């Protein structure tokens, strides 16, 4: 049912440093900015955020897959990768090793040095950074995906929850994706953020949206918790992921507000609605019909 990732929304305390950081170091360009309209926050059911400043940025490849940063005071004190929900965003990059050198001293702090994700020829090679709003980015060279820019589009959103069974059931049966069998996987950067032993393994599965987009599903240990969300605001951290879907009415989910058309980027006058998944993750859906 899901067709593609359109936009990842990240909460920030202040937009001032975001545009320069992403433009100067990752080559992203601002394509839209302003204040959240009442129509948008009505769809999200986040009335306290009407008028909040936002910024939308696009990779230099001009791929129509965006990052949206929204000022949200509730993000203060949030620590990435320690609560359930959307926890990181994975971008395609040409050369993680060179990029790691170029990011030294930048607003992007290295938290996971470049390495192959598994021991095999042509295995994906990835690094992880903490951005200027304490957002986690995976910067990955994966030869199974076509892309053109040195730092290109989102291709994976990483979701974490307390139960792999619930995650897999929801994304396969509710949202129509093919979900792989979960396997134990060492995710060193997550273990470090959670102050766990470096060799800790996490059940990991992949939900395939298309040949261009995936969702990584991670099961977190009982020491982690639900992400606190203040009424009237987006969740802190990586707040929401937006997907295209063929038909909102075909989905058996609960909406935060009734679907309505929205104008502007990336909606373009299409019907849109937001639901919440089993790990508390916010899922925005834009209808293609």
**CA trace torsion 192, 197, 203, 204 (10° rounding):** 30
pLDDT at position 119 is 87
pLDDT at position 75 is 84
pLDDT at position 277 is 99
Question: Which letter, b or e, does each residue of 218-247 get, where b requires 16 or more Cβ atoms within 10 Å of its Cβ?
Answer: bbbeeebeebebeeebbbbbbbbbbbbbee
Neighbours of 76 (CB within 10 A): 10
Q: Which residues of the chain have pLDDT under 70?
A: none
Q: In the beta sheet, which residues pair with residue 92?
A: 140
Sheet architecture: strand order including 282-287: 29-35, 53-58, 66-71, 2-12, 238-245, 282-287, 270-276, 260-262
pLDDT at position 187 is 95
For 234, half-sphere exposure in the C-beta direction (CA atoms, 13 angstrom radius) is 34
For the chain, domain boundaries: 2-287
Please tell me the distance from the alpha carbon of residue 203 to that of residue 205, in angstroms, as a whole number.
7
pLDDT at position 120 is 87
pLDDT at position 240 is 99
pLDDT at position 77 is 84
| CATH architecture of the region 2-287 | Roll (3.10)
- Structure pTM? 0.97
């Amino acid at each position: 049912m899901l067709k593609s990732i359109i936009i990842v929304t990240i909460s920030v305390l202040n937009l001032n440093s975001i545009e320069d950081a992403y433009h100067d170091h990752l080559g992203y360009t601002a394509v839209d900015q302003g204040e959240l309209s009442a129509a948008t926050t009505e769809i999200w059911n986040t009335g306290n955020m009407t008028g909040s400043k936002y910024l939308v940025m696009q990779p230099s490849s001009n791929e129509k897959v965006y990052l949206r940063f929204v000022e949200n005071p509730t993000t203060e004190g949030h620590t990435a990768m320690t609560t359930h929900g959307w926890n990181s965003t994975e971008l395609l990059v040409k050369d993680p090793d060179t990029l790691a050198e170029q990011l030294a001293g930048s607003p992007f702090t290295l938290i996971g040095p470049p390495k192959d994700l598994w021991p095999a020829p042509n295995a994906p090679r990835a690094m992880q950074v903490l951005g200027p709003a304490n957002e986690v980015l995976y910067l990955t060279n994966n030869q199974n995906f076509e892309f053109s820019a040195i730092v290109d589009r989102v291709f994976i959103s990483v979701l974490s929850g307390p139960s792999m069974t619930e995650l897999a059931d929801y994304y396969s049966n509710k949202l129509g994706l093919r979900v792989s069998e979960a396997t134990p996987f060492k995710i060193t950067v997550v273990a470090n953020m959670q102050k766990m032993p470096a060799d800790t393994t996490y059940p990991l599965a992949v939900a395939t949206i298309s040949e261009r987009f995936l969702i990584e599903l991670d099961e977190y240990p009982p020491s982690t918790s639900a992400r606190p969300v203040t009424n009237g605001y987006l969740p802190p951290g990586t707040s929401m992921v937006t997907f295209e879907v063929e038909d909102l009415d075909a989905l058996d989910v609960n909406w935060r507000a009734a679907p309505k058309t929205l104008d502007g980027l990336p909606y373009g006058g299409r019907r849109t609605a937001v639901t919440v998944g089993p790990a508390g993750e916010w899922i925005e859906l834009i209808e293609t019909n």
